[in-house]
Every structure is written in C-alpha cells, then in structure tokens.
Structure 1
Amino acid sequence: MHPVVKLVAQRLVLGLLLLLAASVLIFAGTMILPGDVAQSILGQSATPESLANLREELGLNDPPVQRYFDWLFGALQGDLGTALTNGRDIAESLGQRLSNTLFLAFWAAVISVPLAIFLGLIAVRYKDRWPDKLISAVTLASISIPEFLIGYLLMFFIAVQLGWAPSVAMIGDHMSLGQKLQAIALPVIVLTLVVLAHMMRMTRAAILNVMQSAYIETAELKGLSSFQVIYRHAFPNAIAPIVNVVMLNLAYLVVGVVVVEVVFVYPGMGQYLVDHVSKRDVPVVQACGLIFAAVYIGLNMIADIVSILANPRLRHPK
C-alpha cells in the first residue's frame, strides 16, 4: 500500500474512533446530570403515576447501554430523536439552525483567513519593525479580551451610538443577501477578531522558521526581493502548520460560536443549544453535542490529511 494511502486511511479510522468515543462521553455526560427529565417536563405538580408513565414512554427505565446504542444507531440513520419540550423532530429543527451557523462561520472565515495570512506575511517582511510590532500588539489585545465583552462593546458603539449595524443579528429566508450580511456584521467582526491573532501568529512563526533554510539564502542571493522570497519560496513550504491552525480556527468558528450567538441572539446552533439546556431537553443537547463533535473532528482530520499531502517527508516517511 502506498504510504500516502496508508496514512490517510489511518487518519480516517482514528477520526471515526474518536467520534465514537465522543458520542459515549456526550451520552454519559447528559445521563449523569442532576435532576429528573420527566419532572422537569411535567412540573412539580405531577403525580407519581404520570411521572412513571412518562419515564416509560421516554425509555428512561431501559438500561443505559441499551439507550446509548438505540440513540447511536438512530443518529447513524439520521434520526436524532424528538425534542422533549415541543415534540418536534430534532433533525428537522437543526437543519435551519446549522445552516445559519455555517453561514455566519463562512463569512467570518472569508474575512479572517486571508487577512491573517496577509498580516502574517507583512509581519515577516517587517520583522521587529513597527508594522510587525503594531500587528502583534493589536492581535494579541483582541485575543486577550473575551468575545462577549468585544461583542457588547461593538454593540454599544457601532449599533447604539453610531447606528451602522443592528444590535440583534436576526436573519430569515425573506431577507436578501445584503440584508443578511448587514445583520451579521457585528458577530462576524467579533469572530474575526477572536481567531485572527492565532492564525496570524502561526503564519508568522511558520514562515520565520522556514526563512532559516539554505534555499532561502540561495533565493536571496539570486536578487529576489524580500517579499518575493517570502511569498514564492517560504510561504509554500510553511503551508502545513498554517493549514493546521486555519482548520482549528474554522472548527472554532462552527463549534465555538455559542457565546457570540447568545450575545447577538443569532438563530444558530449555539442559541438553540443554550435554549434547550435551560429546559433540560436531553435529546437536543445530545444531538447538538454530536454534531459539534463531528464538525470539530472532521475539520481536524482534513487538516491532518492536507498536511500529509503537502509535506514530502510525511508522504515518504522512510
């Protein structure tokens, strides 16, 4: 078997095993939560007979192992169960929510990824000079401030004081693309500021590491400009760690938007999860956790595979 095929197959198998382990942790974590699901649904005035009937209907009396495999096999077939609070199909409810979260993450990535790479190249070009120090200071300051605080500050100054964007990021199918982009402007800015620093600094560090190689000195001796050396020779050979950090931040944009969605009341997966956690709707929490885990593991697996294909030393380990 070709080394590349073997390494990719290993990553795929490890990704599936990790997702299986994550499903066990998600199910076990929701099962050990304090409180009674039936009691939270029926309220404090429920009779013992009604509680017993509801537990039987929900399958809460079955052994935990049987309930886990029933839930797992249903999820593999696309059946994520039914929400306890409203009786709606979870997969159907999650469809639009997931689409909204991906829409928000997509536009944040479209801005943050090229900007991070460009700023990283500029920081390398002007290493230890004022552009490098300014970029590093601004990005470090942005990543040091919690995203909810950045959100509230932008909401106050841009939405309330200046009126340039809405403070609540509500979107719907009736809105045009321009209206949707205006609605999500503030959450996109917050997400961009949060993930920009990590990607920029990794780009800078990876390129500076490559700049110490002998072929970079050869390129400089040929008379190429500093930016040509960085862009044409150093950057392509530093792509593997950059891809890894980009994928990690893309995973954060999908999985870690819970706080941002709650701050701006955005109708995405994070807001949906928080709403049902407060209602102790266990099937919804399990479904959201499984989807978040699948997205995070999937993007990390893609990053590993891209690193294998981009690095000759990984393609030919011997």
Structure 2
Amino acid sequence: MTRYIIRRIASVIGVVWLMTVMVFGIVHLLPGSVAHMILGEFATADSIALLEQRLGLNDPLPMQYWRWFSGLLRGDFGNSLTMERPAGPILIEALGRSAILAGISLVLVAIIGIALGVHSAVNRGSSSDRALTLAQYAFISIPEFFWCIVVILVFAAWLGWLPATGYTPLAEAGVLGWARHLVLPVVTLTLGLIAHVSRMTRSSMLEALDSQYVLAARAKGLAERFVLYRHALPNALLPTITVLAIDMGLLIGGIVVVETVFAFPGLGRMLIYAIDNQDLPLMMGGMIVVTSVYALANLAADILYATLNPRIRYGGSAA
C-alpha cells in the first residue's frame, strides 16, 4: 500500500509537470509573439519590444521555461499583467471561493446521490425507482446553463427569495447573507451530478445485491440493514468514488459557466477574465492549479478504494 501511494504521488507530480510543459509550449509556440498576443494587433513595434524585454521573451525558450517553472516551485506564479500584482494571491483567493462552492456541492452530491441510488436499488422496479430513473435521465441530459436560467427566473426574478448574482464574504454579510449567494450556484451545480452519482450507485448496488457474498450473508440470517450497509454498500461505492473524484475536478475547474452566469468571483470566472484580457501569467497559473486539484482528487479516490475494500492490494501480491 505504501509503495503504491508513493508511486501514485510520483505520477501526480509527473502529470502536473507535463501540464506545465504543455501550457508553456502552447502559449509560446502559437503563431505570433506572446507580446503581440497581449498588446493586440495594433500595438507599435516599440511597445512590443518593451514588453518582450520586461517579460524576458528574448531569452531562449528553455531559459524562459525554467524561469517560470522554478517560480512555480517557489509559489511564484508571476505578476498579473492587468492587475499589476502577484498572480499567486489572486489564484488562491479565487480557488478558495470556488472550493466553497465545490466542497458544499460535493458533500450534497455524495450524500443525496448515494442515498437515492441505494433507495432505487433496494426498491428496484417500484414506482419511486421508475420516477427516479426518469428524473436521472432528464437531469443528466440537460446542460448546466439551462438550470442557471431556470433557477434565476424562478427563485430570483419571480419569487424574489434569493439574489441572482454576486458574492458577499462571510465577515461582511454574516452567515445568512453569505449563504444566500451560494444557494443558486450550488443547486445548479448539484442537479446533474446528483443524477449521475445516483445512477452509478444504483447500478453498482444492484450488482452487489446479486453477488455471492451478499447471498451468503443473507443465508446466515443477518439483518437486511446490516447486509446492505456492511456488505453490499462498501463494494458498490467503489465505482461511485471514481465518479466523485472526476466530479471534484469538474467542480473546481469546470464551473466556468455557473460562475460566469451568477457573477461568482471564483477560479472559473477568473480564467475567463484572464483569457479575455490576455493575462498570460494568470491564465497559465490557473490551468496549473486546475490540473493539480484534479490530479489530487484522483489520488484521494485511489486511496479510498483501499480503505473501503481491504481485499484490494495495491502494489503487492494478490491475496
């Protein structure tokens, strides 16, 4: 197990490093100079030369990459070209706000999705199972931006219960004011993911309930609740953990639409701002942060595999 974790950590480091090479290469190998991309097509030759000198763009590419990569290792993401301040604190602030959305959403997705999946599997073929199956297909197939519009129209425009956009820090607005700005983005993020997780849990749970070890547990006269939650559910959760790990990466880096529609100042909206304003240090740093979070989420999922199912022997001989 220890050897496996060490190998997985090494692979995470390798993936993040490879992403730094790809991001740097894509930005610097595109047609036209980086300075021209930043300043625009009407920039003068003098202004382009000045910016190239300021950013060290006249140096060889390996030297430029090492200067940027060594800065990342020290936690230095460079300076934002538009805000004229270090990009690292900007990324940390944006990531923190996105982590709030992602964390609340992931907890709700895990609790509600698994509970609905178990209910459907235990009551397979019932009216509630059929209704949940129909709802799952609907919520999975409809994109997030549609739900953004629906919840804004219903809860903000028509009922006036919640603010449609914006964000207020907890220290300024208190718990209630802070939470009111999170409800609609969280609801929008969780609708499709709950359907996805519950569908996966139902499928895995049905397979577990038909397995030999569950039949043996029932033959021993064990209580049905004990059979469900001690024998069937831990094994059925293994595919669900993978889905949740993928969803964690999507929630951190893939909530661009939700943050843009609700004007939520998170990492996704910041990346859109960096791209629109050609703020390369901010954009490149944001991509590396998203990659790191996604890789760490998958590492956590692999470790949870072994925790929930001791029969799995990572890095050792099969029992």
TM-score range, shorter chain: over 0.9
Cα offset for 1:47?
3.1
In structure 1, the partner of 2:62 is 65
TM-score when normalising by structure 2: 0.92
Q: 1:32 to 1:148 in 2, by over 3 A?
A: farther
Deviation digits for residues 112-170 of structure 1 (CA, Å, limit 9, x no counterpart)? 21000100110111112221121121122112111111101111122101112111032
Matching residue within 66, 71, 76 for 2:73: 76
What amino acid is aligned across from residue 229 of structure 1 in structure 2? V
Q: 1:211 to 1:89 in 2, by over 3 A?
A: same
What amino acid is aligned across from residue 140 of structure 2 in structure 1? I
- Structure 1 stretch displaced more, 28-37 or 68-77: 28-37
Q: Which runs of 5+ in 2 are unaligned?
A: none
CA distance in 1, matches of 2:5, 2:282: 33
User: Pairwise CA RMSD of aligned residues?
Assistant: 1.9
In structure 2, the partner of 1:186 is 184
- State whether residues 166 and 263 of structure 2, in contact with CA within 8 Å, keep that contact through their aligned partners in structure 1: yes
CA distance in 2, matches of 1:167, 1:138: 25
Fraction of identical pairs, as percent: 34
In structure 2, the partner of 1:153 is 150
CA distance in 2, matches of 1:202, 1:294: 26
CA distance in 2, matches of 1:33, 1:196: 40
Q: 1:140 to 1:32 in 2, by over 3 A?
A: farther
Give secondary structure in 1 for the equivalent of 2:78.
coil
- State whether residues 79 and 86 of structure 2, in contact with CA within 8 Å, keep that contact through their aligned partners in structure 1: yes
Cα offset for 1:227?
4.5
Q: 1:34 to 1:280 in 2, by over 3 A?
A: farther
Cα offset for 1:204?
1.4
CA distance in 1, matches of 2:27, 2:75: 20
Count the aligned residue pairs: 315
TM-score when normalising by structure 1: 0.92
Q: How does 1:232-247 map to 2 (within 5 A)?
A: 232-247=230-245
- Structure 1 stretch displaced more, 241-250 or 146-155: 241-250
CA distance in 2, matches of 1:6, 1:203: 30
Q: 1:313 to 1:110 in 2, by over 3 A?
A: closer
1:117 and 2:114 are equivalent in the alignment? yes
CA distance in 2, matches of 1:126, 1:306: 27
CA distance in 2, matches of 1:167, 1:161: 11
Q: 1:291 to 1:229 in 2, by over 3 A?
A: same
CA distance in 1, matches of 2:250, 2:44: 44
In structure 2, the partner of 1:21 is 18
CA distance in 2, matches of 1:35, 1:178: 50
Give secondary structure in 1 for the equivalent of 2:149.
helix
Q: How does 1:240-255 map to 2 (within 5 A)?
A: 240-255=238-253
Q: Which runs of 5+ in 1 are unaligned?
A: none
